[in-house]
A and B are shown apart, each in its own frame.
Chain A
Amino acid sequence: MTNLIIAFRNLFQAKRRTLLLGSAIAFVSLLLLLLLSISKGVSNRLIEASTLTSTGHVNIAGFYKQRANSATPLITNREEIRALVRANVPDLALVTDRARGWGRLIGPGGSFNTGLNGVILEEADFLNEVKLAEQSEYKKDGEERVTGNIANFGQPNSILIFAAQAKKLGVDVGDTLTFITEANGGQANSVDLTVVAVARDMGFLSNFSVFVPRQTVLDLDRRGPDTTGAVWIYLKDISRANEVRKQMEGVLQNAGFTILEHDPRPFFFKFQKIVSQDWRGLRLDLTTWDDEVSFINWIVTSLNALSIFLVAILGFIIATGIANSMWMSVRERTKEIGTLRAIGMQKNQVRSLFMTEASLLGLFGAVAGSLIGVIVTVLVNWAEIPITNSGLRVFLMTESINLVLQPVHILTALIFLPMLTAVAALYPSIKASQMPPVQALNQGK
């Protein structure tokens, strides 16, 4: 306690030094929090976008091989699999399935290859979560109002596309698009689809998906009603996804299905491997949501790596500053150290005094940085600052800057920075504690 009071007093006496170092530490703390909140924002957005557009929390998909050198990403016995999920997953939030197609979407202004998601309207909760784009977002001189109506989705041959897609295809709500694909057997098939709604972009993932009623995909592919692309399981607790995947593998195996060895990649990366395998019939492939988006996890990984790199550099600079400042403090306060030692203060107490001083400085800086961080986060999210650069929008998977600051981030800053400053002050503290009292008193004269 005495140490704490002396350390506090010392910091108070060296106001200018405390203010300068404290500000630097607060800046590092703020930067750390902002980087963590950007990374968390992107990570949350990735989960949100992926589980809306391309994957359930757990997916039961698979491949059907009619002959050795072919593979179709589809499963049969859809109803049976869905029933097994309902009977065996206790914390099930929703079970649905998506018919999958792949082909070329052609509009008056352009065309691109895209995945076709066949949605069961009654089970498509995501439609309530999809935000529709204002006309001005995808049409030159368009109005600043939403022209589509999500309620029209589900009409035969209706299609929901994203704003960037509408821009590329040169279409608006009510226009017709042509989708060309290879039906079962490899023959060309096509359908004319009416755009009923244009949704706001969801970054990278929304580039490769459009939504149509399930029946449209079945008709295009000439497939039966008991087939589908993948059965999607949504859980009340997403963190249980891997556990449920393993559990369902056992359940399906017991029900007589053959399961492929777990390969944590999206289904489209597995084609070549499956095509080269020598078996026929149906094999199921179970994945979790993060397996299906593993190919874009690099975004979160690189953001984290960048955060660590920046904080490490700034941390090093701060640590050097602290060490230097403490060393100067030791030299300036040699007489004080000698006096303290002469009146009976032990070596470890002297060491502890300087380290406490540095830790306190780190803590004050971290607290100040955290407070500013919270204010900045609230203000940035409130302002909904739009991201104007399209590449950055795709990278961050959001239209506006979205920061997610969690208590654990603040706790990290409050623990990490005092520890860093304490470590930085270790060498000067040891030097101070090892100073003989007589010599210290003489030097201080």
Chain B
Amino acid sequence: MLKNKLRSVALRSLFIAVGFWISPALALNDSELKQLVAEVDDRQRNSGDYKSVVFIEQTEKGKVTQAFEATVFRRDADDKWMLLFTKPKSEAGKGYLRLDKNLFLYEPAIGKWERRTDRSGIGGTNSRRQDFDESRLSEEYVAKFIGEEKLGKFDVHHIALTAKKDSEVASPVLHLWIDKASRNILKRQEMSLSNKLLRTLYYPGWDKKFSKSKGADVYIPRQIRIIDEVEKGNGTTVVLRDSNLDSLPSNIFTKAWLESQSR
């Protein structure tokens, strides 16, 4: 009996020792890390156009849950982006348009355009423009490997990303948990410059679509769950449906087109 116990302890110790010995080998080196981040970007990137219907549900502590339906349009080659609200009726026609790295909001009720920053929430929710845009992590951030971790049942790479100097991003520090098997992001945390955790995003599922322009598959999140880490109890769920990678009409990324949708 004692012999068996001793054998079990010895075996466990051996496993732990081996584990410690091999763990540095599990860490990604610089080029592997760069490759991983580039791969994350590439899997989501589409060289042509993109359109998707999004359902946004905003939960706020002590307030009635709000729900919106909108359509997101992207032309990644020209860095153009637009989001047009379609429901509820009170929000229909309202839209965001990104032109020359500036984000504008159109309010059809007053017929005015207002400049917004990338940090401002879309429609007053916890979602931001960058949540609906293509991934440019390798251009905007410098990556650092944190470790191999377990996220639920998934084996993940945990990496930290720090914004490059002069890159125009809302979050200066990001933490990503990337599924080792699928290479999809499963969890993302955004910090402030003072390293306070601001938002946690979960990506419970990804859809795969073949892009003619890219000649390869494009991965699109099926759902994004956003948790406000500062205002506890607030959060947003974004569901993406009917993603389409076909070409869009050439004239839609204009203020005139967006204004015409509410007439």
Contact = CB atoms under 8 A, between A and B. Distances in A.
B196 A190 contact: yes
A106 interface: yes
B221 interface: no
Contact of A186 (B114, B168, B194, B230): B168
A104 to B, nearest CB: 8
Given A106-B231, A222-B193, A271-B115, A190 B198 contact: yes
Interface residues of B, number: 25
B237 to A, nearest CB: 20
B254 to A, nearest CB: 16
Interface in B190-232: 190-194, 196, 198, 230-231
Given A106-B231, A178-B230, A180-B230, A186 B117 contact: yes
Contacts of B118: 186
B169 A178 contact: no
Contact of B172 (A106, A111, A180, A187): A187
Q: Which of A111, A180, A183, A187 has the most CB of B within 10 A?
A: A187
Interface residues of A, number: 21
A188 B170 contact: yes
B76 to A, nearest CB: 21
Interface string A196-231: 000000000000000000000000001000000000
A188 B196 CA distance: 10
Contact of A69 (B100, B114, B190, B193): B100
B119 A182 contact: yes
Given A106-B231, A180-B192, A190-B230, A185 B168 contact: yes
B171 interface: yes
Contacts of A111: 231
Contacts of A191: 194
Interface string B175-201: 000000000000000111110101000
B102 interface: yes
Given A69-B100, A188-B171, A188-B172, A272 B115 contact: yes
Given A188-B190, A275-B115, A69 B170 contact: no
B82 interface: no
B115 A188 contact: no
Contact of B196 (A178, A186, A272, A275): A178
Contacts of A182: 117, 119, 170
9 contacts: A178-B230, A180-B192, A182-B119, A183-B172, A188-B171, A190-B194, A190-B230, A192-B196, A272-B114
Interface of B: 62, 100-102, 114-115, 117-119, 163, 166, 168-172, 190-194, 196, 198, 230-231
Interface of A: 69-70, 106, 110-111, 178, 180, 182-183, 185-192, 222, 271-272, 275
Given A187-B169, A188-B190, A188-B193, 7 more contacts: A69-B102, A106-B231, A111-B231, A186-B119, A188-B172, A271-B115, A275-B115
Give 8 closest A-B pairs by Cβ, nearest first: A190-B192, A189-B193, A187-B172, A190-B196, A188-B192, A69-B102, A189-B192, A106-B230
